[in-house]
Amino acid sequence: MLAAAASVKLSPASAAAAATKLTFKPIHLPPLHKSSPRPLSLSARPLYRQEPFLAAPPRTASPAATADGARPVETAAPEAARRAKIGVYFATWWALNVIFNIYNKKVLNAFPYPWLTSTLSLAAGSAIMLASWATRIAEAPQTDLDFWKALSPVAIAHTIGHVAATVSMAKVAVSFTHIIKSGEPAFSVLVSRFFLGEHFPQSVYFSLLPIIGGCALAAVTELNFNMTGFMGAMISNLAFVFRNIFSKKGMKGKSVSGMNYYACLSMLSLVILLPFAFAMEGPKVWAAGWQNAVAEIGPNFVWWVAAQSVFYHLYNQVSYMSLDEISPLTFSVGNTMKRISVIVASIIIFHTPVQPINALGAAIAILGTFIYSQAKQ
């Protein structure tokens, strides 16, 4: 345009008039969105954009993938494959937990020594993971002294919770133990509120009412109620709440996978539990009880002990691996469904007598747990 203007010869008067007009005539620039779709310079782009201007919008995770608060995962696998993987984790977790509870109750019925039974469960898991690390089936974690110091209070709480739950299983029906253990959210809120000073919305406090009421109704109407079994389940709830609190506080910044984290937890818990198991029961009691159980059950008893020990580790290991893949909300819902499957399976297999009002209390408590998991998030 300038070149064309320079090629035209104007008279002095015309040039002056043209200059005057050009001086006051506004210049109308085309709007930005009508310009050619060339990429803007880097300095002109928004800081959060990486693609050229007017390019296709960035891909975002589907609503189904983030509706429950899970962080988006950038993987090459399609979303359907990820959901299938989580589904396999959940199904495996529930199946292993049901199998463990069945064999654990069979062992305790024939061999009522929960301290040794708890010790064997932790020992089996420790042996499995040590063999996996030695053969490089699983990569050994990189830990230091600070890691084990942070893990110590978690292991103490885990040991107390594990033994208390086993004591409860030895004294009462499997279904009753899990009904009482469904009240764990109530302990979590109360401990967080009065010991840690945390505050929760009113919906969380209201969700505790059906949990407490349902557990109370189930306990009052339990046909084979036993105070030791009831207190064992309650202590287990409290211990696991403190385990979760210590884990959140002490493990911040620690880069250990869920599988290896639980393996280390099992090993440290085993070291803590061993001296107490010897003090509470002892080899003489174990030897006599073992002979009686083998004489009564036969060689199958040895298989029961091995199965309950191995399946205890496997179901916990899969649950920690699941937590690596999903949000805490999804994990909480899965844990609620797991309790339902255990309660139903144990009632069917052990022919546990259940009154209608007792079943109603269990249903109310489990429904309250589900409502709590929704309100908490």
Give the confidence band of 330 by pLDDT, cuts at 50, 70, 90.
low
What DSSP state is assigned to residue 140?
Answer: P
Please state, rounded to an integer, the average pLDDT across all residues of the chain.
Answer: 79
Q: For residue 367, how far is the Cα from the chain centroid?
A: 19
Give the confidence band of 46 by pLDDT, cuts at 50, 70, 90.
very low
Cα separations (Å) of 63 from 72, 247, 287, 334?
Answer: 10, 30, 58, 20
Q: Are the C-beta atoms of residues 162 and 118 closer than 8 Å to each other?
A: yes
**Which pLDDT belongs to residue 329?**
58
Q: Are the C-beta atoms of residues 297 and 37 closer than 8 Å to each other?
A: no
Helices 184-194 and 202-220 meet at what angle, rounded to 10? 130
* Helix ranges, 172-257 (H): 174-181, 184-194, 202-220, 227-250
**Which pLDDT belongs to residue 30?**
56
Residues ≥6 apart with Cβ < 8 Å to 225: 172, 176, 219
Give the confidence band of 6 by pLDDT, cuts at 50, 70, 90.
very low
Give the confidence band of 300 by pLDDT, cuts at 50, 70, 90.
very high
Predicted confidence (pLDDT) at residue 73 exceeds the cutoff of 60:
no
Query: Is-above-0.85 flag for pTM?
Result: no
Segment among 70-74, 99-103, 183-187 with least mean pLDDT: 70-74
Give the confidence band of 257 by pLDDT, cuts at 50, 70, 90.
confident
Share of the chain above pLDDT 70, in %: 75
Segment among 37-46, 110-119, 122-131, 352-361 with least mean pLDDT: 37-46
Predicted confidence (pLDDT) at residue 233 exceeds the cutoff of 50:
yes
DSSP-derived 3-state class of residue 251: coil
Predicted confidence (pLDDT) at residue 263 exceeds the cutoff of 50:
yes
The number of beta carbons lying within 10 Å of the beta carbon of residue 340 is: 17
Average pLDDT estimate for 106-117? 96
Domain ranges of the chain: 88-376
